[in-house]
Chains A and B, each alone.
Chain A
Amino acid sequence: MKAAIEVKEYPSEPLKCWEKAKNLRKDYYDDYLHAHEKGGLRWAGGAWSFSAIPAGLGEDVYCITGEPYGATVAFFKDFASKCHDATEAAGFPRTLCAYMRNYWGSILLDKYILTEGTVVDGYPAPDFIWQDHICCSHGKWYQLVKWLEKKRGKEVPMYSVDVSVGYPSDFSSEEDYKVSYIVEQLNDGINWLEKVTGRKYNDSLLCDAVWNEIKATSLWAEVCALNQAIPAPLDEKSMYSLYVMGTLMKHRPECVAFYETLRNEVKDRVERGVAAVSTERFRVITDTQPPWGFLKIFREMEKYGAVSVGSLYTFGLIGMWQYQPDGTWTPKLMPPRKPQTRDEALQAIVRWTMHKPEWAHFYEPELKTKMMESIVKQWKVNAVLLHYNRGCEGLSLHIAENRFGLIQAGIPVFPFEGNMGDERDFDLAGTMARLSAFFESMGLKKLRE
């Protein structure tokens, strides 16, 4: 007979701001859908696009960012399956970025999915596309959105900003030309926005939006930093529902307000020793997006007392970070003052954004490995679970090198293949069997079924 495993149990309670997070996200999707009814504008682009810039067109400008939308589709597997069928029937290879296929599928089916899974007729076409390009698919995703909308009889103008200038560790004056390259494109973009919308651009709104984005992304990093506490006040699965605000509306004041509330609540949880997972005894981090249709994998892990305290993805997709002189990795310090002019705003947002942690590995895998090592050390992590994600070329880029680097640093790594957005490419049972073998090799047995 198996001996009962004695495990310390921490106090645990749900997040108070959980409902607020849900409603914020719901409203965002609804606002995009109903934007025209209020005389507003709709635009589409990626979660990494410079969303503060279109904010200068007015207070009634709403967007849908493609990656979170692709993830929402993936979460509802039945709808995702229909989207995949539609894109494959249209002749697209199934090995393409999964978010992109989910998004196109939605257009091809002419359906729009809301946050709780309701599918409504009529995919709301954007009035313009505002995107940036770093991975092979980013700009092209929306190029095809334009092509698909044209087939539906709608001309959608598109602008995309090239950000592929590398990952400078600091902006020495030698690299000012890289900042200028992007700032100039944004300036050209503002002229373009005025032309395609017929609206006069408002620099004051731009400055507000840029400052909101800087604040929001700094605040999110503070929230993540609090997870260094033992027990962790948040688990990664819950964090996905919280970081998503940064992927949708990082330039909006309500995002800043929400992250302030969240930061204060998480601080309080740390002070009171409140855990996300009461049986926490093994801390992991993951990497790349999770298989969205199978988030129960996190609950399965908890049966072993294992909790994911985050990842570079969750921390650094939206959060902004920096290295201190003593080598610790901390939330990035905000600039001393809010920009006052268009040029100051564009310079500020470009210089701020170029240090996005998730952009480092597009150029040098060792930069990301170093950040992951810092997370392992500072967040007191026992092992790293690497999702070799077939659905995303960009975030799986160099993942084998990261694995290699972490193993060389003596950190246990569990890699598993899957797909963030295509449910056909993830084997839950097989992965759990492998994961349980991994936990076993680390000396962990299941606490409960």
Chain B
Amino acid sequence: MIEEVFGKFREWIDNRHEYAKAWKERTGNRVVGYFCTYVPEEILYAADILPVRILGSHEPPTVTEPYIFAMYCHFCRDCLAQGLKGKFDYLDGIVEGQSCLHLRQAFNAWRLHIPIDYTYYIYVPHGVQTIRATPYLTQELSKFKKSLEKWTGKTITNQDLDKGIQILNRNRELMRKVSEYRKTNPPKLTGLEAMEMVLSSQMVDKEEHSKLLEQLLEELPNRKLERRGDVRLMIIGSEDDDRVFMKNVEDLGATFVIDEHCTGTRYFWDNVKEGQEDRLAAIASRYVMRVPCPSKDWPELTRLKHAVHLAQEFNVKGALIIQNKFCDPHGIEIPPLRDALAAVGVQTYPLEFDVTVPWGQFRTRVEAFLEQLTGLEELF
């Protein structure tokens, strides 16, 4: 039964476009693509719109040079390439929640060059550590809501917003509960399975996804996962959906027991506070106060503190830090992150990712790191 659930997550990921098209056909409703997890999906669900995250394909994005300078990260170019190649031609709209510079180029190039019915850019503030950010974002979300109402021709009521909030909160809460089972020794799910759980959530109707999570939670307590080796690893990065890499590392005798990146726990760690009169303010507060993307995390390094806390809570032995080549916000934090983890006894190893990764070279590095963690090098 558990294997069926994880199998379903994989099926959803591998056939994401077919799923979205079938969903459109079945419901008669709209599908909107988003680039960054700062887009408040609650409001889209409130408008009966299915939000799906636009992700890349890990093939060299050879069609994007006229639109994006190649020194911007592979992820933003890979996302745009999917649009240019027509993979997302079923989308009715695209929305971006302001975050890093790289991704907004994918949004703008899409807006300028790919025919699409609806586009919207939410000026999500970067100053999330100032008390002024939540009231500001509340105003922005009010504008966004009005724009959606104009597009769909349907008013979004407080009831609708409550529905959207509950759908998102439920899904996030269930994923957090599943994550608890990664604390056990050995963990009850692999890092790859956890990644596929999150990725599939970003691609399908969350109500369907939550049903599967509920089934998973019934079975997980009894699951005995056979693992070769017992090294408990963490993966820390920006956008990371390289499933092949996860599998390859976990085949070497380690398990990723927790992560801190935006196709991982960062996506679902925080909820919207329910029961507030001003729903938009409640949603705004969630997006301001959530575990931040480094592009918004200043002047204090709060994301770092959160990563250290996760490492301790999940009893991590070592962390792989995945730096997407050219990503400034995450790259800037690498030295303080490594220092902070070292201070609590967690060793780290940085790897630079691109659209494809040289597994041969990475294997050497990861194996050496694992040997270092298990103390094997002390034999010689």
Contacts and interface: CB of A to CB of B under 8 A. Distances in A.
Decide if A and B touch, CB cutoff 8 A: yes
Contact of B132 (A136, A143, A184, A390): A184
A140 B101 contact: no
Given A93-B331, A140-B329, A162-B133, A135 B101 contact: yes
A93 B127 contact: no
A163 to B, nearest CB: 9
A9 to B, nearest CB: 39
B329 A136 contact: yes
A135 B229 CA distance: 43
* Interface SS of A by simple majority: mixed
Contact of B325 (A95, A136, A397): A95
B68 A177 contact: no
Given A140-B329, A166-B123, A147 B108 contact: no
Given A364-B108, A401-B109, A404-B66, A92 B331 contact: yes
B100 interface: yes
A399 interface: yes
Contacts of B326: 95
Interface stretch (B169-177, B182-190, B292-300, B312-320): B292-300
A333 B39 CA distance: 38
Interface stretch (A153-161, A225-233, A377-385, A436-444): A153-161
Contacts of A365: 108, 112
A133 B127 contact: yes
A286 to B, nearest CB: 16
Interface in A342-390: 362-366, 388, 390
Interface string B266-306: 00000000000000000000000000001101111100000
A96 interface: yes
B130 interface: yes
B164 interface: no
A397 B295 contact: no
A133 B126 contact: yes
Contacts of B132: 181, 184-185, 188
A43 B35 CA distance: 37
Interface in B88-143: 98, 100-102, 104-105, 108-109, 112, 121, 123, 125-127, 130-133, 136, 139
A178 B325 CA distance: 33
Interface centre among B101, B123, B332 (most CB of A within 10 A): B332
A139 B126 contact: yes
A133 B123 contact: no
A141 B334 CA distance: 13
A97 B328 contact: yes
Nearest to B301: A143
Nearest to B323: A93
Contacts of B123: 164-166, 178
A396 interface: yes
Contacts of B329: 136-137, 140
B65 interface: yes
A92 B332 contact: yes
Interface in A148-192: 158-162, 164-166, 177-178, 181, 184-185, 188
Which 7 A/B pairs are nearest by Cβ-Cβ distance?
A162-B127, A139-B298, A93-B331, A158-B299, A91-B335, A181-B136, A136-B295
Interface of B: 65-69, 71-72, 98, 100-102, 104-105, 108-109, 112, 121, 123, 125-127, 130-133, 136, 139, 294-295, 297-301, 323, 325-326, 328-329, 331-336, 338, 350, 352
Interface of A: 90-93, 95-97, 100, 129, 133, 135-137, 139-144, 146-147, 158-162, 164-166, 177-178, 181, 184-185, 188, 362-366, 388, 390, 393-394, 396-401, 404
9 contacts: A91-B334, A92-B335, A95-B325, A140-B333, A144-B335, A162-B125, A164-B98, A165-B123, A398-B108
